[in-house]
Amino acid sequence: MFRFLTKLDYLLRETLLGLRRGGWMNWAAISTVTVLLFLFGTGLQASWQLEGLLNQVGSQLEVSAYLETGVDGAMLKPVIERFPEAEVVKSISKEEAWASLVKDLGISDLKDASRQLEGNPLVDELKVRAKSSASVPILAKKLKNLQGVEDVQYVDEAVKRIAQLDRGLNWLSLMITGLLTVTTIAVISTTIRLIVMARRREIEVMQLVGATSSWIYFPFILQGIVFGVVGATIAWGLIQAVGQFLQNLLAQQPEFVQFLAAEGSLRPINSIALPLILLGFGGSVGLLGSLLAVRRFATR
Report the candidate in 293, 296, 285, 300 with the shortest Cα–Cα distance to residue 193. 293
Residue closer to other proteins, measured from CB, 114 or 207: 207
CB of 288 to other proteins, least distance (A): 23
Question: Which position among 1, 208, 251, 269 is part of the footprint of other proteins (CB under 8 A)?
Answer: 208
Number of residues that bind other proteins (CB under 8 A): 22
DSSP state letters, the chain: -HHHHHHHHHHHHHHHHHHHHHTHHHHHHHHHHHHHHHHHHHHHHHHHHHHHHHHHHEEETEEEEEEPTT--HHHHHHHHHTSTTEEEEEEE-HHHHHHHHHHHHT-S-HHHHHHHTTS-----EEEEEESSGGGHHHHHHHHHHSTTEEEEE---HHHHHHHHHHHHHHHHHHHHHHHHHHHHHHHHHHHHHHHHHHTHHHHHHHHHTT--HHHHHHHHHHHHHHHHHHHHHHHHHHHHHHHHHHHHHHTTS-HHHHHHHHHTPPPHHHHHHHHHHHHHHHHHHHHHHHHHHHHHHHT-
Give the residue, chosen from 207, 240, 265, 271, that forms a contact with other proteins under the rule CB under 8 A: 207
Question: d(Cα 143, Cα 154) in Å, to the nearest integer?
Answer: 11
What's the angle, vertex CA 205, arms to CA 199 and CA 206, rounded to 5? Answer: 85
Report if residue 1 touches other proteins, rule: CB under 8 A: no
The stretch among 117-125, 188-196, 206-214, 262-270 that binds other proteins (CB under 8 A) is 206-214
Binding test (CB under 8 A) with other proteins, winner from 7, 103, 167, 296: 7
From the list 69, 132, 212, 258, which residue makes contact with other proteins (rule: CB under 8 A)?
212
**For other proteins, which is the closer residue by CB, 17 or 92?**
17
**Minimum gap (Å) between residue 204 Cβ and other proteins:** 7
- Binding to other proteins by residue 12, rule CB under 8 A? no
79 binds other proteins (CB under 8 A): no
Residue span binding other proteins (CB under 8 A) among the ranges 5-13, 29-37, 175-183, 220-228: 5-13
Q: What string marks each residue from 171 to 190 as x (binds other proteins by CB under 8 A) or -?
A: --------------------
Q: Does 194 bind other proteins (CB under 8 A)?
A: no
Q: Which stretch binds other proteins (CB under 8 A): 3-11, 130-138, 159-167, 169-177?
A: 3-11
Measured from the CB atom, the residue of 11 and 97 that comes closer to other proteins is 11
Out of 70, 78, 106, 210, point to the residue binding other proteins (CB under 8 A).
210
CA-only gyration radius of the chain, Å: 30
| Cβ closest to other proteins, residue 133 vs residue 213 | 213
**Nearer to other proteins by C-beta: 2 or 24?**
2
10 touching other proteins, by CB under 8 A: yes
What residue ranges bind other proteins (CB under 8 A)?
A: 2-3, 6-7, 9-10, 21, 201-202, 204-216
